[in-house]
Chain A
Amino acid sequence: MPRTLTSVLRLSSVALALCTGAATAQEDCLKVMTFDWSATLIADPARVVNNSDLLHVNAAYEPLVVFDNNFTVSPWLAESFTQSKDGLEWTFVLKDGITFHDGAPLTSADVVYTYRRLLDPATASPAAAELGMITADGITAPDARTVVFRTAKPVAQLPLLLATKYALIVRDGSTSESLARQSDGTGPYVIADFKADAPRTVLQRNPAYWQKGKPAAPCLELSGSADPISRASAIQSGDADLLIAADASTLPLLQADPGIALLEAKGALMMTMVMMVDQPPFDDVRVRQALKLVVDRAAMVQLVTLGFGVPGNDNPVPPTSPLAVSDQALPRDLEKARALLAEAGHPDGLTVDLWTGATDLVPGMNVMVQAYKEMAAEAGITVNVMTAPSNSFWDDVWMKQPFSVSYWYTRHPVSSFSLAFRSDAQYNETHWRDPAFDALLDDAATATDPAAAADLYRQAQTRIMTEGGQIAPVFASLVAAMRKGCTGYVPHIESRVMFQDITCD
């Protein structure tokens, strides 16, 4: 039966391609497929939204520095970077011999322009908030290959913040309009004849790319499909060489295919249930603790991600991170949960409403909710699953109902804590306001000793784990599927793709 259905799907996708007259793929192109193809593609790195946008700009532009899945930063267009003794200045020296697509050499003026453009409110880049501790005047270029970032107080994680996905170096003077016409980056592929509403895009190799002999493919074809089954079918039939994210439900199918390799970035997506700590009954810390204690985290990982994930410990740092308090999952303790509930005045159990989207907000979300409902029932907690239309969930339910689901892509604590847990955080979904916690974050951000900073972040995590309003049982992996015969792709926690390294035979 599966074979027949696959054949039907393949035939229909071929028929669809013929009918729509979509740009015909060149046979020797590297074909990469994503899960969310935007109806209005964006080719400006400063303003990317969807994964499809990110793929375009990752192919044509490159960053000053990059971070790996453990948030270790290394230079990319930079050759080296150093921090001054007082911790206020970071100096980046650029690699020599790198040119833009139009042949002009990369200079420090381009880097200064790129970061000043990100900070400019007129650009409307989400990066402006992340780079809040830098001012436009603080970015200077003493010579053609050196860039200096100066901050008012020491920022230990500045290179990490500079590696934000929006910070890809563009030519001095570029605008959103000029970038939408023709890419002018240093990346391995060139975007020409860009159409924002194209169903697929073909990019040509940059013949003057600075890494000699790369990229291997003469062209790169980008496309996307929101339907998990169509994506799985595309890679099985050879219509795609690489799927950026395979849906958990199709993983057993892809796993069984000898022609496909699965690659996993662990701890990429945190799935959570958030309680507002100032709303009853969640305003009692014992209730929050009881609601956390009922979770069987190992079982949750199996059910929600089919094993392609790691357990979470109710805070945004995955246990796979070197910054985590522990690499072990918190244990389940139903007796203690019942005792805490009784102490909090609920000896006969508790009933709560948990809000989620009518359809999965991310794959596996409603599996998590239903599993949680059953796990909580064993401790006398009745969880009523309430659903709202998924397209209006973030506007009407999230941060409005006292107990709802949420999810976050994994970030370094310097970003994740500031975004969702600091007292004045824009997305403080748990209403967590704790001056002692804020002080820990401030101390960690300015600590020049990495070990001391890590210790402060662990203390901050512990506060959220024990008293906060976040139940985070699962970190789902980002699982990419690659056709056998292709090499060079490493799944990145922030979905960054190093296209120049991918080759297929």
Chain B
Amino acid sequence: MSADARLARSPLPVSLVLGGLLSGSILLVALIGPWVAPYGPSQLGTGAPLSGISLAHPFGVDQLGRDVFSRVLHGAWLVLVLSLSGTVLGFLAGGILGLVSGQRGGWFDWLVMRGCEVLISIPILVTALLVVALVDTQTIAPLPLIIGVIGFVYAPRIARMARSAAIEVATRDYVTAARLRGDSGLRIALVEILPNVSGILLVELALRAAYAPVLVASLGFLGFGLSPPTPEWGMIIAENRGLIFITPITVLGPGLMLAVLVVGINLLTEGIARVIGRSVVRTT
């Protein structure tokens, strides 16, 4: 049964609708945020410093007198762009590596997979911090660095998933036929195998994208992300961490937005998986 026919028959899964609404709302904030924000992202003196929640300042005012709500609105696109580009980079690198590795087999496959296993055995945040610490931050701009780091930590995980899917498809008759026809390994991977594993990879992409904002914010929170006064959400939380007893909303506000984004993409992933008939396998 095709996905279209399935959609026509049954109502949309709740997770898809809810996930779409939540992540859609954050996407909307990212698109129009900078134009509707009442203040500039680093505008000083918008209100009394450390004054709490109010109609004029829904997320309070930080120590510098900046409106935290405006900073969150201005920073939304950054969180999305960083998370999505990093995930796509990891998806492309890991996907191609996994497909080729699964299709070729032999020593190449062995080498690639052992390398991936080594990287996967280290927790994501630790790998990310190691990469940031090893790279000369005085020469590489932080934006491409963070995208690269997310791509780097995701690539081996996606490669392993792509490889196991590719191996399953590689034994099919039409792949054997292509091989007998004399097609190159890369051509077989892209033309014969890729279209048949795209469902699995799509779910994997969405799943990774769901965790990427947390990784971006974690790097920002720990001070390994962008430079101040960039309104990246993790950095906003870190900046106002000391104010948690005085104006908790300055921390909870951006935290809530981050939670909405992560929960939204997760639900959306689950919804998509259900529609295309795949199950979500959550791994780290």
A residues adjacent to B (C-beta < 8 A): 1-2, 5-6, 228-229, 232, 247, 249-250, 252-253, 302-303, 306, 356-359, 363, 366-367, 369-371, 373-374, 384-390, 396-397
Contacts and interface: CB of A to CB of B under 8 A. Distances in A.
Contacts of B170: none
B243 interface: yes
Nearest to A250: B242
B50 interface: yes
Given A250-B245, A359-B238, A388-B138, A370 B223 contact: no
B50 A389 contact: no
Contacts of A396: 138
Contacts of A359: 222-223, 238
A249 B242 CA distance: 6
B54 to A, nearest CB: 16
A386 B49 CA distance: 25
Contact of B223 (A2, A228, A247, A390): A390
A363 B63 CA distance: 12
B228 A2 contact: no
Interface residues of B, number: 25
B248 A367 contact: no
Interface in B211-244: 222-224, 227-229, 238-239, 242-244
B64 interface: yes
26 contacts: A1-B248, A2-B244, A2-B245, A2-B246, A250-B246, A252-B246, A253-B245, A253-B246, A302-B49, A303-B64, A306-B50, A358-B223, A363-B242, A370-B64, A370-B228, A370-B229, A371-B64, A373-B42, A373-B229, A374-B43, A385-B227, A386-B227, A388-B137, A389-B133, A389-B137, A390-B223
B224 A6 contact: no
Interface string B61-98: 00111000000000000000000000000000000000
B24 to A, nearest CB: 30
A352 to B, nearest CB: 14
Contacts of B44: 303, 371, 374
B243 to A, nearest CB: 6
A249 B65 contact: no
B13 to A, nearest CB: 36
A13 to B, nearest CB: 14
Contacts of B43: 374
Contacts of B242: 228-229, 247, 249-250, 363
B49 A232 contact: no
Contacts of B223: 357-359, 387, 389-390
Interface of B: 42-44, 49-50, 63-65, 133, 137-138, 222-224, 227-229, 238-239, 242-246, 248
A463 B245 CA distance: 44
Contacts of B64: 303, 367, 370-371
Which residue of A2, A358, A366, A386 has the most chain B CB atoms within 10 A of its CB atom?
Answer: A358
B100 to A, nearest CB: 36
Nearest to B252: A1
A387 B49 CA distance: 24
A247 B49 CA distance: 16
Contacts of B228: 356, 366, 369-370, 385, 387
A252 B222 CA distance: 25
B245 A229 contact: yes
Contacts of A385: 227-229
Contacts of A6: 245
B248 A2 contact: yes
A450 to B, nearest CB: 41
A370 B42 contact: yes
A249 B243 contact: yes
Contacts of A356: 228
A359 B234 CA distance: 13
Contact of B42 (A247, A250, A374): A374
A1 B246 CA distance: 10
Contacts of A367: 63-64
Q: Which of B222, B229, B242, B248 has the most CB of A within 10 A?
A: B242
A306 B138 contact: no
The 6 closest A-B pairs by CB, nearest first: A249-B242, A358-B223, A359-B223, A2-B245, A370-B229, A387-B227
A54 to B, nearest CB: 24
B229 A306 contact: no
Given A253-B246, A366-B239, A370-B228, 13 more contacts: A232-B245, A250-B246, A302-B49, A303-B49, A303-B65, A356-B228, A358-B224, A367-B63, A370-B42, A373-B229, A385-B227, A386-B227, A396-B138
A5 B42 CA distance: 29
Interface centre among A6, A232, A385 (most CB of B within 10 A): A385
Nearest to A296: B44
A265 B230 CA distance: 34
- Most interface-central of A247, A363, A367 (chain B CB within 10 A): A367
A367 B44 CA distance: 11
Nearest to B239: A366
Contacts of B65: 303
Contacts of A358: 223-224
Given A359-B223, A373-B229, A389-B133, A249 B138 contact: no
A402 to B, nearest CB: 13
A5 B227 CA distance: 30
Given A358-B224, A369-B228, A373-B229, A306 B238 contact: no
A359 B222 CA distance: 8
A5 B244 CA distance: 9
Contacts of B238: 359
A374 B228 CA distance: 12
Nearest to B240: A249
Contact of B224 (A1, A232, A389, A397): A389
